[in-house]
Structure 1
Amino acid sequence: MCEIAGLRLVDGASRPRFEQDRWVFSGLADAHRMMSDHEQIWNFTWIANPRWRVVAKEILLAMLAPQYEAVLECSHALRAARSPRTCFNFLQRYTEWFNWLTKQGITALEDVTQEMCERYLEHYSWSVPVRGRPRRRLEPYSTVAHVRILKLIAQYKELLSSDSYETGFVPWRGKTATQVVGYKSKGPNLTPPVPDSMLQPLLATCLYFVNEVGPHLADLMDTARTSRADTTASGSITLAHLPALRQILALMRADGEPLPAVDDVQLRKRSTLEQEGPLKRLGWEALARTVGARRFGDDARRRMIPELITLAAEVGFEPPLARQAAAIPRLVDGELIPWTSPLAEGDLVFMADHAVTACLVVTCALSGMRTSELLEIEAGCRLPAVATPGGGRRFRLASRLIKGQKFGGVPDEWVVIEQVDRAVALAERLVNRPAGEALFGTIDLAGRLKNLRGWLERTGNRERWGLPVLPQGPLNARMLRRTLSLAIAERPGGLLAAKIALKHISVATTEGYAARPGGSQRLFHAEIEEAEEAHHVQLTVQAFRDVQAGRMPAGPGARGLIEAFHHVDAQLKDAAGTDPKVLKDDRHLENLLRKQAKTLHVGPANFCWFRDPSKALCLRLAGTPNATKPLVGMCDSARCPQATHHPCHRPVWAGQATAIDVFIESPRVAKGEKARLVPERDRALRVVAEIDAAQAASVGED
């Protein structure tokens, strides 16, 4: 099978053969991590009718190997190879279809009719019954595969040897699978973004974990690993070790040092035998390591119990790790606190696991990588940082691009911001895996965050570190990717994303998506541009509504914008004469304003309506009059004839004037510098006055 399909196998792997009813692909050399273990085992015995097992085998082999000689002779066969993961999903659908026919009493495919196909599709167009809940109709994209596998049997009729449809029969003849179910693949992105009420506390918590707690936690993990490695070859404590142990216990008594305590999980699992009652909190393994052993022998344990009970009554118990923890600032108020309370070894493992979750969230939220790409991140994936002009650095991660590529994917690189590089570096230290192994393992963000939320509350670390409460709600990698794309789109120029204030987050991230034209990065950039266009239409409609209500814009380009909006308003009034409903139709208004919206470029303190490049002040100053986009960073909106100021821009200009006043009044600023700042302040105040005057005029007219 693998030889025909051109699939590479690792040395010693099993080689599935066509006549077998169980194909095992667990030895595929190019299998990516999105392909789970159960998807690598194809069990055709799930199909009740033995004749139809052969049908499924022949179709799936043809999809895996479209260049095979027998498949090339099939005139309607698919010519692009499908991946083993896709074919496994088709096997599941064929199992459902064939077993459904068996339940209907059908034993030969030639008896299949269009009416049966429609009944089958209707049956699988509804959700699985759940007690106490009504069934719901599935979305069209969930049922396309059910139609597709039915039509494939007709497409591969020339190839099938055991059974096939009646000659001339094609389910839903003349219609594609998507047309049958009404699925439109070019619709809007339905993935919802993560709301700010959830995103902000989530990123604040995870970044605090990575930046403040993580370095100390990684150091403690290194120390614990070294301690375990030193005692790996050691045996149990025997009677011969007791004198040395008693010396250590004497020092603990003298210093008032508590005995090592076990973690809460182990405490709950412990036996409650009477003789162990007073010592059930004792960490026997941790105490054994104080004399270089792994555990207590039975004889030594029995001999030491009375002495340990006496000592425990004097000094008590406390987890042995991080008793003198370094101080870190609380997130909420900056107060210095120990980074953790004392930990047992089990507590340390749990904390490290939750820290890896924080690293995963930061990487996912601030890089925009897909789940398949996150899964391909390996230990040792961080590439050397590249210096950039101005003293900055670009950080890169090596991964693999899976979607839309040949089976196994292709190597890919992602340019990320420093916080992502730091999170990946921390995760590498915490998991301590050899280079080439998966770094994060599962990408189940919903389950991981549920555990993180419960652990923060249960241990009291959320209050200790001054972290916000993590709200409940759905979350996955796709939602975080969608959120990042919208954040980039809605910032000035579509480049400055700022869900949180980090170093050049949008510039570095966008550079990563633009680095490989034609790949996933280009698709993500197209999604950004689509969202940016919708946002610009929304801003243009709002500006039009303001003019309709008498709230006029200010700035050099205000007159031209008002005239354009009056022209659109006249078109609406003309349309109202023939169809009164048009005036209430926002879609019609958006269509009229779409051309105007395409000229809009959002600046931090103005709107630039870039209709005529020859009039753009920034292009004239830069000496590039033929450019197709304005240079927003060089914008002087107080003088540019295509710039407008709106009420939403007033706080920016007023804030600039206030900030300049602080420098002018400061005795530390040189007189020459103050003289240079005065015109800047006057310009800001003039813009504020113009905005206020425009609003006052509209109020006066009302």
Structure 2
Amino acid sequence: MALSIRRFVFTAITDLRWRLVAKELVLAMRAPRHPAVAPLPRAHRTALHLTSCSGRLDELTRFCQWLSGHGVSSLAQIDTRVCDAYMAHRRYVLDEYGAVVGEQSPGTRRSAVQVVVDLVNYRELFTADRVPADLRPWGGATASAIAEMPSGRSENKTRPVEAAVMQPMLAAALFLLSCLGPHAVGLASHIREADQLSARKAQGLRPVSTVPVTEFAEVLSQYTDTRTALPMLADHHVADRLAAGWSVDDPLLAVATGVLARQAGVTQFWSAWMPYLRGPLEDALASVGVKEVFARDAAEITAADFSSVLAWTLSLHRLQAVALVGIVRTAAMIVLAAASGMRAS
């Protein structure tokens, strides 16, 4: 969020009493369970977002400046005539000669009404100045009704998604969430663990100048003893090797030697080491092969059409695994938003 929204500026309200009213109002909107706020019958029951509070403060500042410019020195002087006058002031767009040339948006009109409604709803809270106890502007109608906002009164401005789109989207999202979700959680955990162990800045790694033959032999023996395939490079890294002069027929072209180096406890694999380590690497490759690192032994699930049982995912490179977790996360967001009726849906 921008600093202009996160930082509330009250100094634009010159009247110190009204400045205190503004502070009390904003705090009340942020802390609805405070003992001084909770008993108010028309106060908000949930905390307003910082963006909403910033907008309320901006409109209240504008209202206070307008009151001062029209000879109003106390909130107790506000009556329905003043409320209507401010509404008219914020409703119309005037040219330099004072002639009406257009109307503000319903959102702007609603903000103008809401600032008066807030002063009424939180009246008992204010300590320095307050509106009259019998003030009931616009007959108690809601700010949206007074501003003639279409949303919530007839239909939403954004049309509902047609069933032809919504139904299959939700069906797919529910399938991903229920069938792939638990596996995606495990995959995300595997990614985090691999990042901690295989990153160049992983804890415990050391730079070395001599060829770590012994360390590599230990790592490769672990792969061969457990019959685990060597880690595979992603396609774009293979392309980098080819561009750097590697032969397309080199059996080690797709082997992630950097990952093996970090598993051996060193920061990176130097090309000068290859003549000394090629033999052990090719022997291990011939024994166990090479494969993508993530989701190698994926659990089986039933297909969405119940026609077959298959692995929930192919084996993946890191970026592919991250993308798959993101897809399942998006499916979860779609289901939550649609089922809860959140505005984000």
Q: Give TM class, smaller chain.
A: 0.5 to 0.7
Quick one: which amino acid aligns to residue 149 of structure 1? V
CA deviation after TM superposition for structure 1 residue 359, in Å = 3.6
CA distance in 2, matches of 1:283, 1:171: 74
In structure 1, the residue matched to 2:97 is: none
CA distance in 2, matches of 1:329, 1:343: 20
2:90 to 115, 120, 130: 120
CA deviation after TM superposition for structure 1 residue 174, in Å = 5.0
CA distance in 2, matches of 1:337, 1:331: 11
CA distance in 1, matches of 2:34, 2:189: 52
The answer as to 2:63 corresponding to 1:94 is no
Quick one: which amino acid aligns to residue 47 of structure 2? R
**C-alpha distance 174-243 of structure 1, shift in aligned 2 (>3 A):** closer
**C-alpha distance 94-118 of structure 1, shift in aligned 2 (>3 A):** farther
In structure 2, the residue matched to 1:352 is: 325
The answer as to 2:168 corresponding to 1:201 is yes
Following superposition of structure 1 onto structure 2, how do residues 548-697 of structure 1 map, counting pairs within 5 Å? none
CA deviation after TM superposition for structure 1 residue 354, in Å = 2.2
1:243 to 197, 200, 214: 214
2:28–2:34 contact (8 Å) kept in structure 1: yes
Q: Is the partner of 1:296 in helix, strand or coil?
A: coil
Quick one: which amino acid aligns to residue 173 of structure 2? C
Quick one: which amino acid aligns to residue 304 of structure 1? W
CA distance in 2, matches of 1:215, 1:60: 42
In structure 1, the residue matched to 2:113 is: 147
2:272 to 281, 284, 303: 303
Quick one: which amino acid aligns to residue 43 of structure 1? F
CA distance in 2, matches of 1:247, 1:67: 66
1:57 to 15, 20, 23: 23
Quick one: which amino acid aligns to residue 113 of structure 2? V
In structure 2, the residue matched to 1:85 is: 47
In structure 2, the residue matched to 1:106 is: 69
In structure 2, the residue matched to 1:319 is: 292
CA deviation after TM superposition for structure 1 residue 355, in Å = 1.9
1:65–1:81 contact (8 Å) kept in structure 2: no
The answer as to 2:340 corresponding to 1:369 is yes
CA deviation after TM superposition for structure 1 residue 149, in Å = 1.2
Long gaps (5+) in structure 1: 1-35, 72-76, 124-134, 372-442, 445-475, 477-702
2:261 to 276, 281, 288: 288
For normalisation by structure 2, the TM-score amounts to 0.57
Quick one: which amino acid aligns to residue 358 of structure 1? A
Q: Alpha-carbon deviations, 1:250-294, whole Å to 9, x = none?
A: 9999x9x66521486xx59x9999769889976455323554x3x
2:87–2:109 contact (8 Å) kept in structure 1: no
**C-alpha distance 347-208 of structure 1, shift in aligned 2 (>3 A):** same
2:67–2:73 contact (8 Å) kept in structure 1: no
**C-alpha distance 215-44 of structure 1, shift in aligned 2 (>3 A):** closer
- Greater relative CO, 1 or 2 (CA 8 Å, sep 6+): 2
1:258–1:318 contact (8 Å) kept in structure 2: yes
**C-alpha distance 149-243 of structure 1, shift in aligned 2 (>3 A):** same
CA deviation after TM superposition for structure 1 residue 223, in Å = 5.4
Q: Alpha-carbon deviations, 1:677-697, whole Å to 9, x = none?
A: xxxxxxxxxxxxxxxxxxxxx
Quick one: which amino acid aligns to residue 233 of structure 2? A
Long gaps (5+) in structure 2: 94-101
Quick one: which amino acid aligns to residue 92 of structure 1? G
CA deviation after TM superposition for structure 1 residue 332, in Å = 5.6
**C-alpha distance 50-240 of structure 1, shift in aligned 2 (>3 A):** farther
CA distance in 1, matches of 2:66, 2:253: 59
CA deviation after TM superposition for structure 1 residue 181, in Å = 2.8
CA distance in 2, matches of 1:159, 1:215: 51
CA distance in 2, matches of 1:251, 1:60: 62
Q: Alpha-carbon deviations, 1:378-412, whole Å to 9, x = none?
A: xxxxxxxxxxxxxxxxxxxxxxxxxxxxxxxxxxx
1:66–1:78 contact (8 Å) kept in structure 2: no
CA deviation after TM superposition for structure 1 residue 147, in Å = 0.5
CA distance in 2, matches of 1:201, 1:324: 30
In structure 2, the residue matched to 1:44 is: 9
For normalisation by structure 1, the TM-score amounts to 0.33
**C-alpha distance 78-115 of structure 1, shift in aligned 2 (>3 A):** same
CA distance in 1, matches of 2:91, 2:243: 65
CA distance in 2, matches of 1:306, 1:176: 84
**C-alpha distance 317-149 of structure 1, shift in aligned 2 (>3 A):** same
Q: Percent identity?
A: 18
CA distance in 2, matches of 1:229, 1:272: 25
CA-based RMSD? 5.8
**C-alpha distance 351-148 of structure 1, shift in aligned 2 (>3 A):** same
CA distance in 1, matches of 2:8, 2:173: 42
Q: Alpha-carbon deviations, 1:125-172, whole Å to 9, x = none?
A: xxxxxxxxxx997557x844431313555784995647x88x999795
Quick one: which amino acid aligns to residue 54 of structure 1? L
CA distance in 2, matches of 1:53, 1:360: 41
Query: How many residues of Structure 1 are paired with residues of Structure 2 in the alignment?
Result: 305
CA distance in 1, matches of 2:174, 2:160: 20
**C-alpha distance 109-160 of structure 1, shift in aligned 2 (>3 A):** farther
Following superposition of structure 1 onto structure 2, how do residues 437-448 of structure 1 map, counting pairs within 5 Å? none
CA deviation after TM superposition for structure 1 residue 120, in Å = 1.2
**C-alpha distance 90-240 of structure 1, shift in aligned 2 (>3 A):** closer
Quick one: which amino acid aligns to residue 320 of structure 2? D
In structure 2, the residue matched to 1:423 is: none
1:261–1:317 contact (8 Å) kept in structure 2: no
Q: Alpha-carbon deviations, 1:78-113, whole Å to 9, x = none?
A: 544435733953552231352477599938644995
**C-alpha distance 144-66 of structure 1, shift in aligned 2 (>3 A):** farther
**C-alpha distance 206-252 of structure 1, shift in aligned 2 (>3 A):** same
1:343 to 307, 310, 316: 316
Quick one: which amino acid aligns to residue 235 of structure 1? L
Q: Alpha-carbon deviations, 1:486-515, whole Å to 9, x = none?
A: xxxxxxxxxxxxxxxxxxxxxxxxxxxxxx
1:320–1:344 contact (8 Å) kept in structure 2: yes
1:150–1:171 contact (8 Å) kept in structure 2: no
**C-alpha distance 327-307 of structure 1, shift in aligned 2 (>3 A):** farther
Q: Alpha-carbon deviations, 1:441-471, whole Å to 9, x = none?
A: xx96xxxxxxxxxxxxxxxxxxxxxxxxxxx
Quick one: which amino acid aligns to residue 115 of structure 1? A
Q: Alpha-carbon deviations, 1:187-234, whole Å to 9, x = none?
A: 577586543322332234234434544455455556566666778764
